[in-house]
Structure 1
Amino acid sequence: MAVADDRRRYMPLPDDRQPERGQPLAYPEAVLLVNPVEAEFTGEVDDKYQYTCENRNLKVHGWISNDPSIGFWQITPSDEFRTGGPLKQNLCSHVGPTCLAVFVGAHYAGDDLIPKFGQGEPWKKVFGPVFIYLNSVMDGQDPLTLWDDAKRQHVYPVFGSNQMAVETSGWPYSFPASEDFPKSNQRGMVYGKLLVRDRFVNSNDMPINGAYVGLAPLGEVGSWQRECKDYQFWTTTDENGVFSINNIRTGNYNLYAWVNGFIGDYRNDSSITITPGCNINVGTLVYEPPRNGPTLWEIGIPDRSAAEFYVPDPNPLFVNKLFLNQPQNKFRQYGLWERYGELYPEGDLIYTIGESDYSKDWFYAQVPR
């Protein structure tokens, strides 16, 4: 199974989840493998949630067979039809071999991301299309290179290549006949520049490389995170704060943004109407993060991630070996919520300003006992 460069592995079998081979853990999806068909998996936890992926990174995932050496890949050139925005996590692959295309999912979010409809409310939406890609290698060649091919040929540009055009650059597809799937010339574009104004950081308005800018349905500040009935279109700024959002479906939108390193959410006060073939220049937008004065202290980094905080080692009885030497994925190990009570049995954490180090002294999740 391959989901990302750092999440590729031989997988247990579905049979290993049966009662005589697997011990159920705290929730049905997690099973401790006590007598797996392949002995190498003994003592590991199988849990499909360990392989979830954020929408923004969920472009290609799938499976490789060694005999014959064939790869089966699901490639999603656009996540415009997925719910919850670029940071929403979705299931993608797990034992089976299972390969999922999740378009609407409440995982990690709950009821807010379940679409709700009033009596007689009209609604329709196009999910996909997604691209299924099969590849193979000759006998004697490394089957794992099939992942590199799927990723290289169909997700990232290959210059000077005569291979199939990159799927992402070919979006929207031209073949769907449905009038509900607009072609490229029936869509619009929005471009501009985003600057951050924070006089306690810099006396000048600042361009930030990698800020997220997107169009989502009309709503309040930050509402894109719970939006689950329509379409969203996101991009990131360059080092000058310049952005361009392409292939936007017609409709009325708000422009939203957030910037790593600065708290809060941005929403432009004016709505944007996309018409077929439009190119809208929104000019220079300025986000002024909320504050009442200089920052006295803060724990961590306002980047919508807990990666900078302390993530404990897993209980050695409940491990996924894939993540044992991957600090960036340690948080995916099973049962870390129980480690909180084990590490701090006498009471909750106290963070002492000027003394504590959030990378060592602050648990990455707020866990009830």
Structure 2
Amino acid sequence: MQNENQTEISFTRTWTFNSTKAPLNVDKRYVMLKDSPGFYTYVVLERLPGWPVFYIQEGRVLFKLDENMFQYMAVSDARQRFMPKNQDRRNGQVLGYKEAVLITNATNPAFNGEVDDKYLYSNDNKDIKVHGWVGSNPSLGFWMITPSNEFRTGGPLKQDLTTHLGPTVLHYFTSTHYAGEVLAIKFKTEEYWKKVIGPVYIYLNSNDSANADPSLLWIDAKQRMEKEEASWPYEFALSEDFVKSNQRGALNGQLLVRDWFVSKQDVPGASAYVGLALPGEAGSWHYENKGYQFWTKTDENGSFSIKNVIPGNYSLFAWVPGFVGDYKHASNITITPGSNIQATNVVFVPPRNGSTLWEIGIPDRTAAEFFIPDPSPTYKMYPYKEHVEKWRQYGLWARYKDIHPVTDQVYTVGLSDYKRDWFFAHVPRNVGPKLYNATTWQIIFEIKNITKGSYTLQLALASANGAEVQVRVNNPESEELFTTGGIGKDNTIARHGIHGRYHLYSIGIADTHLVVGNNTIFLTQTRKLSPFSGVMSIQMLDITVPYPSRKGYISTDHVLNPKAVRVICSVSTVSTTPQLLHVNVSQSRDSRQSESDCCLLNDGFWYLGRLKKSKGLTRALLGGDDGGGWRAATRTVDGARAVTTAVDGGWRWAYEIWFGVGDRNERYGGWREKSRRR
């Protein structure tokens, strides 16, 4: 198509069964607009049912530039530099893997001693907006601008390559980098799939002053990137498969966090990532790779607006910095053309089984807060003008042996500082040429009083590669209490990342494993095939004391009942006057889930009970304090009244209430009487 304002060229390829090409129909397009200093490109990919099983491990747009002209590369405000040449790599020394080369005989001697590695210039999807190269004589900038991430896989935290020596300019829309095979797109025989990738914009700019200061063209490219973002979705794309703005919808809402250990009231999920992706379980957006994803960040009030969403059925996901776990809304969201939906009951309840005894690190899905060593003096770092994150350096994993030459890491809660004493990656110990031993880290902590029940260790990993973490308590020779099994292929440790694919484990530790006084948790990373086998450090360790742990708390959360229910709880804390606290509980469309406001006491401690519906009966799993938390509680559901009375001023353990036909029996020694539904 061509007119006075636009030229769009389409190159198509239709797959046939006798073809040796990938089983995809391809429609690749290039667009030039009047007075636009560059061009756009996008592709429509399609596979039909009945075609062969097929994997896509990488999908990208790539441009190779003339290295005699383009010598200055810019990836971010901080990472901008003049680059070595291809010949310098060929003359260098290959290090731990083929992509990493020590420059030893460069055409410009200033580069000698540096490590050239394309992974040094990776970014998160959320930050890959503009990158490119600047040439001289004449000064010319060549920039890849990505105005939207909706067609990328793996969500906003997925890392990928941007640009590197070559000179090479990339746009990755899917890859297994920093994630592993879980993000390879795998098609079954009868599966239909179609997706539009792009458009992305290749922007060209020039400025004679850039011969002296190439960053001038970077500044201009960033301004152009903002203009392209504001123009998304483009109106000029002629393919009927590209969805225009008037055919899209929007979703608005407010994300709240309900964690009794943090606040009596729900708190705004500030600076959280909220997004729509294909329906799946909580956290499935990490490895979703066939559909579109739409993400935004909340403001300080937890408010969010996701605009320009392609019509379809989605799950609403979120994660909140400062809290472990993933959020998924109880109901799927259907976007239709022109819709503007207000999401309700967007409340994230982080996984918690008790009050926190101690924790190590920050639940931010990276290992950036832990100890990151200086690089080996063998390698010279490029002198960037601005600060570049310390972890973007080659060979940091090998420094573990230098810092702990004889024995493995020991961390004492209350004395150690994770910024100084917790190595960022749990890796094997090098004991000889290509020989490695498993490593066992220790966490020493004190317990003054043992609470009966199951303690919980929240083990969050920012990355894993060919690893296995085993957990033992107070006896390093005992059978492991828990093992992750073999996990991870994201190779983040080698590739200078600080996070890869997120893993979260909740590990029960029976009180019988613990003692009054000092206790030790042993974390053994057993896999030792390579120096890169390991986890990107224990991103957060949080051990919780089991309920009951504090006086005066209850909850009537997650009541599944066909109608909205009001539950009245009469509660007394120690010797105070009983109070009436009201809880409104409502059922969601999904009969397996519900949402509610929780019951609070003056000191703000809750017990988050869980209720399940089975054969018309509703079971409440509640708990109490063993030191005198509750005197009595009354629950009324649809006219059925059940009363329980505590013994010695408190309930010692969990108990069950069944609303329906049948007896309610004594459980765990907490009740002295049996009663029937009235």
Q: The TM-score by the shorter chain falls in which range?
A: over 0.9
Q: Bigger relative contact order, structure 1 or 2, given CA contacts below 8 A and separation 6+?
A: 1
- C-alpha contact (below 8 Å) 1:212/1:234 kept by paired residues: yes
* Alpha-carbon distance between aligned partners in 2 of 1:38 and 1:365, rounded to the nearest angstrom: 34
* Alpha-carbon distance between aligned partners in 2 of 1:152 and 1:324, rounded to the nearest angstrom: 21
Partner of residue 273 from structure 1, selected from 316, 321, 334: 334
Aligned to 2:250: 189
Aligned to 2:402: 342
Aligned to 1:58: 128
Cα pair distance change 1:359/1:292, threshold 3 Å: same
Shift of 1:209: 2.2
Give structure 1 stretches of 5+ with no counterpart: 156-165
Partner of residue 136 from structure 1, selected from 206, 227, 231: 206
Using the TM superposition, name which of 140-149 and 339-348 deviates more.
140-149
Partner of residue 202 from structure 1, selected from 254, 259, 263: 263
Cα pair distance change 1:119/1:145, threshold 3 Å: same
Aligned to 2:152: 82
1:366 aligns with 2:438: no
Shift of 1:323: 6.3
Using the TM superposition, name which of 25-34 and 291-300 deviates more.
291-300
Aligned to 2:286: 225
In the TM superposition, 1:123-272 aligns within 5 A as 123-139=193-209, 142-155=213-226, 166-272=227-333
Shift of 1:200: 1.2
Shift of 1:346: 1.6
- C-alpha contact (below 8 Å) 2:256/2:268 kept by paired residues: yes
SS of alignment partner, residue 273 of structure 1: strand
Alignment deviations for residues 64-118 of structure 1 (CA, whole Å, 9 cap, x no partner): 1132111111110101111110000010010011110111110111110100010
Using the TM superposition, name which of 26-35 and 289-298 deviates more.
289-298
- C-alpha contact (below 8 Å) 1:324/1:330 kept by paired residues: no
Alignment deviations for residues 343-367 of structure 1 (CA, whole Å, 9 cap, x no partner): 1122321111001100000011222
Cα pair distance change 1:201/1:329, threshold 3 Å: same
Alignment-mate amino acid for residue 351 of structure 1: Y
1:331 aligns with 2:391: yes
Aligned to 1:98: 168
Structure 1 segments (4+ residues) deviating >2 Å: 138-143, 152-155, 322-326
In the TM superposition, 1:61-72 aligns within 5 A as 61-72=131-142
Alignment deviations for residues 161-208 of structure 1 (CA, whole Å, 9 cap, x no partner): xxxxx1111001111111211000111100010011111111111113
1:320 aligns with 2:346: no
* Alpha-carbon distance between aligned partners in 1 of 2:339 and 2:428, rounded to the nearest angstrom: 50
* Alpha-carbon distance between aligned partners in 2 of 1:325 and 1:2, rounded to the nearest angstrom: 13
SS of alignment partner, residue 142 of structure 2: strand
Aligned to 2:554: none
* Alpha-carbon distance between aligned partners in 2 of 1:143 and 1:220, rounded to the nearest angstrom: 46
* Alpha-carbon distance between aligned partners in 2 of 1:309 and 1:323, rounded to the nearest angstrom: 23
- C-alpha contact (below 8 Å) 1:323/1:329 kept by paired residues: no
- C-alpha contact (below 8 Å) 1:70/1:143 kept by paired residues: no
Alignment-mate amino acid for residue 359 of structure 1: K
Which has the larger strand fraction? 2
SS of alignment partner, residue 199 of structure 2: coil
Aligned to 2:534: none
Alignment deviations for residues 292-344 of structure 1 (CA, whole Å, 9 cap, x no partner): 12211111100111111110000111233246983x52111111111112211
Which has the larger helix fraction? 1
Partner of residue 357 from structure 1, selected from 394, 414, 417: 417
Q: TM-score, normalised by structure 1?
A: 0.94
* Alpha-carbon distance between aligned partners in 1 of 2:149 and 2:380, rounded to the nearest angstrom: 32
- C-alpha contact (below 8 Å) 1:197/1:288 kept by paired residues: yes
Shift of 1:153: 3.2
SS of alignment partner, residue 83 of structure 2: coil
Task: Please identify the structure whose Cα radius of gyration is greater.
Answer: 2
Partner of residue 32 from structure 1, selected from 84, 99, 102: 102
- C-alpha contact (below 8 Å) 1:319/1:334 kept by paired residues: no
* Alpha-carbon distance between aligned partners in 1 of 2:336 and 2:214, rounded to the nearest angstrom: 46
* Alpha-carbon distance between aligned partners in 2 of 1:92 and 1:322, rounded to the nearest angstrom: 20
In the TM superposition, 1:2-17 aligns within 5 A as 2-17=74-89
* Alpha-carbon distance between aligned partners in 1 of 2:362 and 2:376, rounded to the nearest angstrom: 27
Alignment-mate amino acid for residue 81 of structure 1: F
Alignment-mate amino acid for residue 144 of structure 1: S
* Alpha-carbon distance between aligned partners in 2 of 1:50 and 1:143, rounded to the nearest angstrom: 20
SS of alignment partner, residue 132 of structure 1: strand
Q: TM-score, normalised by structure 2?
A: 0.51
Using the TM superposition, name which of 87-96 and 60-69 deviates more.
60-69
* Alpha-carbon distance between aligned partners in 2 of 1:53 and 1:113, rounded to the nearest angstrom: 17
SS of alignment partner, residue 391 of structure 2: helix
SS of alignment partner, residue 187 of structure 2: coil
Give the alignment's Cα RMSD to 1 decimal: 1.4
Alignment-mate amino acid for residue 193 of structure 2: W
* Alpha-carbon distance between aligned partners in 2 of 1:331 and 1:142, rounded to the nearest angstrom: 27
Shift of 1:143: 2.8
Aligned to 1:163: none
Partner of residue 291 from structure 1, selected from 352, 360, 373: 352
How many residues are treated as equivalent by the alignment?
Answer: 356
* Alpha-carbon distance between aligned partners in 1 of 2:359 and 2:197, rounded to the nearest angstrom: 41
Shift of 1:152: 2.3
SS of alignment partner, residue 116 of structure 1: strand
SS of alignment partner, residue 12 of structure 1: coil
* Alpha-carbon distance between aligned partners in 2 of 1:297 and 1:45, rounded to the nearest angstrom: 40
* Alpha-carbon distance between aligned partners in 2 of 1:11 and 1:118, rounded to the nearest angstrom: 43
Shift of 1:9: 0.5
Cα pair distance change 1:124/1:349, threshold 3 Å: same
Percent of aligned pairs with the same amino acid = 58
* Alpha-carbon distance between aligned partners in 1 of 2:384 and 2:419, rounded to the nearest angstrom: 19
* Alpha-carbon distance between aligned partners in 2 of 1:68 and 1:297, rounded to the nearest angstrom: 60
Alignment-mate amino acid for residue 313 of structure 1: D
Alignment-mate amino acid for residue 341 of structure 1: K
* Alpha-carbon distance between aligned partners in 2 of 1:292 and 1:59, rounded to the nearest angstrom: 40
- C-alpha contact (below 8 Å) 2:80/2:384 kept by paired residues: no
Aligned to 1:108: 178
Shift of 1:15: 1.2
Aligned to 2:542: none
Shift of 1:125: 1.1
* Alpha-carbon distance between aligned partners in 2 of 1:347 and 1:171, rounded to the nearest angstrom: 55
* Alpha-carbon distance between aligned partners in 2 of 1:325 and 1:286, rounded to the nearest angstrom: 40
